[in-house]
Amino acid sequence: MGGTTSTPLAPRPADTVKDMDQQPGNRGEIRDFLAGRRAKITPAQAGLPTSARRRVAGLRREEVAVLAGVSTEWYTRLEKGHIGGVSEDVLDAVARALRLDDDERTYLFDLAQSSRAGSRTPSRRRDVEVPPRVQWLLDSMTMSSAFVRNGRTDVIASNPLARALYAPMFDSATIDKRGRPNIARYIFLDPGAHDFFVDWDAAGNATAALLRAEAAREPRDRALRDLIGELSTLSPEFRDQWAAHDVLIRHDGIKRLQHPEVGHLELTFQHLDLPLSSRAVHNLIIYTAEPGTASEDRLKLLASWSATPSRAALPERAPTS
């Protein structure tokens, strides 16, 4: 792209200023997200000339407009949240100019889609019941911790090893009236989560980013709004991480836990899409340990305990070293 200008993309009929003005959408979210991503890119990274007189480290609006091939006025209006009638071509050009990753690009497109929707009244989305076949699948995984999570991070189904592994969360006062844990509520509202998650900051950031992506997909989900409002009111850490506008759709990697009974665990977790509903997001999360490691031994110990009908005969605590 370099520092050369390009012919601005011609807006399609749906991209007219009048149409943009008629779609209030999620203007605050759009503004903060685009401005934040623009601030993270330096001119050098974008292949633009730099000057010692620059007042900001990131890109200016006019520079993003050049890189995206749109007019400065057009991009300025877009960054102010007028996104409802913008074509996919323009959004794609802006995503490339801002170097958005796949999750961030999806988030931008979801914000645009939600801004085009006719009704903005929050709705009570009906929870999807987990079919018996899914619970059979979970229960068949005797050496892996497995659970199903919805977009609000409610744990709606789990196997015995998952309940043993995440015992502090299942036993937390943050569970709902149906006895279901919510991962976000546990991480941000239960002080014990700081001890359970060795990398609590990373866990909190990922969880807030997952909720941010869900909020763009389902902006009219009243239960989701209530959850975000509760966390924002009660947790300064959540407020800070929510304000960062980080976005995460897929979440795989390594999780380090300090389990109250078996001690330190370093586990690999994998996220798989589970099509339980044509609309709502559901994920199957599987935790395993690397073969031959101490974590595998401790996970096997948890698995044997979780298979025991009564925990009354369990040892008080397994060795942690």
| pLDDT tens-place values along the chain, 321 residues long | 444 444 444 444 333 333 333 334 478 888 899 999 999 888 888 888 776 677 777 898 999 999 999 999 989 988 888 876 788 898 999 999 999 999 999 999 988 888 775 545 555 556 778 889 999 999 999 999 999 999 999 999 999 999 999 999 999 999 998 889 999 999 999 999 999 999 999 999 999 999 999 999 888 889 999 999 999 999 999 999 999 999 998 888 999 999 999 999 999 999 998 887 766 778 999 999 999 999 999 999 999 998 875 444 444 455 454
**CA distance linking residue 319 with residue 321, whole number of Å:** 6
Q: Which residues contact 167 (CB under 8 A, 6 or more apart)?
A: 259, 260, 261
The order of strands in the sheet holding 155-158 is 155-158, 145-150, 282-288, 263-273, 253-259
Q: Yes or no: say if 149 and 155 are a contact pair by the CB < 8 Å rule.
A: yes
Beta partners for residue 256, in sequence order: 266
Count of alpha carbons within 13 angstroms of residue 135, beta-carbon side: 8
pTM over 0.85: no
**What angle, rounded to 10 degrees, do the helices at 72-79 and 27-39 form?**
120
CB burial of residue 92 (10 Å; 0-12, 13-18, 19+): middle
Q: Which residues contact 149 (CB under 8 A, 6 or more apart)?
A: 155, 156, 183, 282, 283, 285
